[in-house]
Amino acid sequence: MPEVAPAPGTSTLWAPQAWLPGGWHDNVLLSIGADGCWAAVRSGVAPPPAASQVLAGPLVPGLVNAHSHAFQRAFAGLAERRETPSDDFWSWRDRMYGVALRITPEQLRAVAAQLYVELLHGGYTQVCEFHYLQHDRDGRPYADPLELSWAVADAAAEAGIGLTMLPVLYERAGFAKPGLGVDQRRFRASAADVWAMHEALAASGRPLLNAGVAIHSLRGATAASIAELRQRAQASSAPIHVHVAEQRAEVADCIVATGVRPIEWLAREGQLDARWQLVHATHSTSAEVDAVARSGAGVVLCPGTEANLGDGLSDLEGWLGANVPISIGSDSHVTRAWREELRWLDYGQRLALGRRNVGAAPEIGVPSTAERLFGRSLAGGGAAAGATRWGLEPGARADALVVDTHDSGLLGIEPARTLDALVFSSPGRPWRDVMVAGRWVVREHRHTRGEAIAMRFAAAMREVWSETSS
């Protein structure tokens, strides 16, 4: 085969194997355009052209982390003791508010930067930040309403990860409550506020930053405000995220207040379309799954956090079987690697149903659980982040992960089983290198800013927890 020369303004990579649309391909040449997107992707190119950078292992697309509360990284691992007769989501939430009430913009930037470096090491190259921390610690607006949003955006820029900011509509503490509680004073934002924040973020021109909008939950916003925000976003293709049906108590409260279940209410009101992302959607009926499928909306599953908080198990088979777009998120960040999220997505089902490889679908030619869950999360994550293309394909942003085949969980694994081993074999450090928008941000397991970011994070944690304990 004749040598393939890169086009002017591009750089080229060559991988022995790469996960392209449809599965694994051998001898893959990828060209990166000046815009940081894949200009061309071609398999079967051997030997590697002289002008190409030969990669040390197989190439896998980075995944989108479709649901993040960055400030909660300061709380990860610190709510795992029970000193009262019971502990549940609601008691966890009360303790989490203590961190939300204390953290400053500078501390938030330090915490978020550490989180984003960890997410890159965990195989994510884009994060959707469900951002409801808006005001100063006394509840008064900052002079710049985006003070805390810019702190998060600065952290993402320093880490080198892509960021979808989702300012959140949040105006009440529950269906029967007219406003927010005193411990929620930093969260207040109306539909007009949210859309103004979205517009400012979208117009900022910052590299690797885009914006959508979010609604905290049906209990956290009135029907009129949800309708207003949807109307303001009518002409936009920006994603719309909402927490929904995470907890059984939330479902019961919604039935009392509206007469129907949360997902049912969204479908009945005609709210849903392909821009919508239903975060958690843990407690659903088959009729609700069908309604979501007809609308084109997606679901964002967060198995690590949902397990940590005792939320329950989603209807994975239902969502998969109805071809609803699926993405994953790390939410409260008790886990920060997509391999672990996918593992627990299937393990939860195995424990509940007494079967193995629940996510596999040999009847449609996909016997690998890991490959099916990864492929669906890859496609769904791009939509959740507002990207029209995602993965190792022309026009998509040039994001990629180089697999370290010397990692202990991958030693001796045949190439065709790489994803199986990545998800279901022993933990380790499988990503040798990480690329975002055509630029290496992790090389040989090392982030260039990692040590300095970690030092600032440790200092911020000491400050936050010194205050919360005082």
The residues annotated as belonging to the active site are 280, 331
Rounded Cα–Cα distance for residues 144 and 69 (Å)? 21
For residue 460, which phi and psi values (nearest 5 degrees)? -65, -40
Q: How many CA atoms lie within 13 A of 31 on its CB side?
A: 17
Q: Are 198 and 134 in contact (CB under 8 A)?
A: no
Q: Which of 70, 59, 53 has its CA nearest to residue 117?
A: 70
Two structure tokens written together for 110: 């330090």
Query: How many C-beta neighbours within 10 Å does residue 28 have?
Result: 25
Q: Are 454 and 158 in contact (CB under 8 A)?
A: no
Within 8 A by CB and 6+ apart from 183, the residues are 94, 97, 101
End-to-end Cα, the chain, rounded Å: 70
Two structure tokens written together for 295: 């609308």
Within 8 A by CB and 6+ apart from 414, the residues are none
Q: Quickly list DSSP for 90-140.
A: HHHHHHHHHHHHH--HHHHHHHHHHHHHHHHHTTEEEEEEEE---S-TTSP
How many helices (H) and strands (E) in the chain? 14, 18
| Cis bond before residue 367 (omega within 30° of 0) | no
Two structure tokens written together for 124: 């994510």
| Cis bond before residue 47 (omega within 30° of 0) | yes
Within 8 A by CB and 6+ apart from 336, the residues are 115, 118, 119, 121, 122, 330
Rounded Cα–Cα distance for residues 328 and 385 (Å)? 11
Helix (H) or strand (E) holding 78: none
Query: How many C-beta neighbours within 10 Å does residue 279 have?
Result: 27
167-179 exposure pattern, b = at least 16 Cβ within 10 A, e = fewer: bbbbbbbebeeee
Q: Which of 388, 377, 354 has its CA nearest to residue 274?
A: 388
Q: Compute the residue count for the chain.
A: 470
Q: Which of 438, 418, 440 has its CA nearest to residue 430?
A: 418
